Structure 1
Amino acid sequence: MPKVSNVARQSGLHEKKNSGSPTRAPRARDAEATQKRILAAAKKEFAMSGLAGARVDIIAERAEANKRMIYHYFGSKEALFERVLEDAYADICIAEQSLKLDHLDPKEALETLVRFTWKYYLENPEFLTLVNNENLQKAVHLQASEVLPVISRNRLDMVESLLARGVKAGIFRRGIDAMQLNITIAAVGYYYITNRFTGSIIFDCDFMAPDLLRKRLEFNIETIIRTVCK
């Protein structure tokens, strides 16, 4: 089965085909459930140990499967890592789409996106760890991905639409680059969280203390709003 269809069926980023097909046989449902357990176990193992340190036998044990099944469904540890990465990006894309920013005032929508990104990073530390690990690998596992370009285009379309609405309403400055804004929204939260341990030592404070997290979010929102608004 093509990889795009495999991820699309899980993420909903592409149209589902054969929607009128009969109910799947028990064996097909069991296979799908097994793959989901493997992916969940792999996500934790890769996030904790990285690609090089992750062990397929540990993934199999946690997934209540066996190594043969993992290789049967995914081909290799590297291919499994790629699928985990694609699913991680798909998950955050789906969550963003659920915000329904088009129904909000442009400024409120932008604040909502900044809040969401910050909260998502805090609640999904495995996502940041997986992204960090892939950057250490120079993104070799995502270079041939057919899924990531779709996800990226959806995100840019969302931000471009938001900026256009803000410009039309006379709230946002013209000429804001959607890609650069997207990077900045990610960066102001990403750096703080991924550097929380060293940052706590350098600045002699607990970066994860509730009061500091609140102040950081407020600063993030103010930074982005000042950048975009007139």
Structure 2
Amino acid sequence: MPELILLNKPYGVICQFSQHELHKTLKDYVQVPGFYPAGRLDTDSEGLLLLTDDGTLQHRISDPRWKLPKTYWVQVEGVPSDEQLAQLRQGVDLGDFVTRPAECERLDSPDIWPRTPPIRSRKTVPDSWIALTISEGKNRQVRRMTAKVGLPTLRLVRVAIGPWRLDGLAPGEMRRLQIRLEDLPRVKHAVGINRSAGASHRLARNDGGGGRRGG
């Protein structure tokens, strides 16, 4: 039966197993042979990354035609207005493409681990959090979306992909699951704001986490 690894990718880790001169890589956290990322997460983003040892499962997770929703908790510069949230929900023209409609809501400051290094904040400019769920994953899409509506991203944490959530995993920790391929068509649209981001604003901090540590 195919296996899936849920990894809480720390900030600054590059999504590759080969050595990198400037960054830690997945090899520093996942020392299980035969697993490869199903999709990616930018080096300066944190949170849920899926890896699998099965090519079919990898394709089903990463192929945009399946439109697995991805939920992010986004710390932005500024306080989002109703109009800005509406723009994110309706779709944002980024020049080279227009994003699909998304789910978006304000988010109370979540109880998550501190980022290392911490974000750069300005005393004269407030910051706040939003929960954003998209069904696509173009290069740096979330950061481009928030910047386009006047809310530059300060911190980006992915908390869910489809039915899989980050719950209980501290940065650098992983959890292994067995997956039945025949179950995937029934869960490809399984996660939305109300059940993932809006339901709970707590995730594992540095002093906790119930997953297995990779490596």
TM class by smaller structure: under 0.3
Structure with higher RCO (Cα < 8 A, 6+ apart)? 2
**Higher radius of gyration, 1 or 2:** 1
More strand by share: 2
TM-score normalized with structure 2 length: 0.24
